[in-house]
């Protein structure tokens, strides 16, 4: 991933860490028509977020331990 995308990945992980985010919300909020700007997919590929099924919520995007570590390391 390019260095210019890292701040956006960090923003995405911080946003996802605030509360459980439904998969549909993530897709709608972070969708882009630019094939070079795949922020939430990059975060998933790097192991910073994962897809989980939670009772009562369905499919959600959750921040992993690596994602939480990234936030702490970057003062977020």
How far apart CA 18 and CA 25 sit, in angstroms, is 14
The predicted model scores a pTM of 0.82
Residues 4-32 have a mean pLDDT of: 87
Looking at the DSSP assignment, which residues form a beta bridge with residue 61? 21, 51
pLDDT at 68: 95
- Count CB neighbours of 34 within 10 A: 6
How far apart CA 64 and CA 17 sit, in angstroms, is 9
pLDDT confidence tier of residue 37, bands split at 50, 70 and 90: confident
Residues 20-34 have a mean pLDDT of: 85
Which CATH number characterizes residue 36's domain?
1.10.10.10
* Tally of domains in the chain: 1
pLDDT at 2: 44
| Residue 14, domain extent | 3-73
């Amino acid at each position: 991933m390019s260095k210019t995308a890292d701040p956006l990945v960090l923003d995405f992980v911080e946003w996802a860490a605030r509360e459980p985010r439904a998969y549909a919300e993530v897709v709608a909020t972070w969708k882009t028509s630019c094939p070079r700007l795949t922020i939430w997919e990059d975060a998933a590929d790097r192991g910073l977020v994962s897809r989980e099924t939670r009772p009562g919520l369905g499919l959600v995007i959750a921040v992993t331990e690596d994602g939480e570590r990234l936030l702490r390391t970057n003062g977020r």
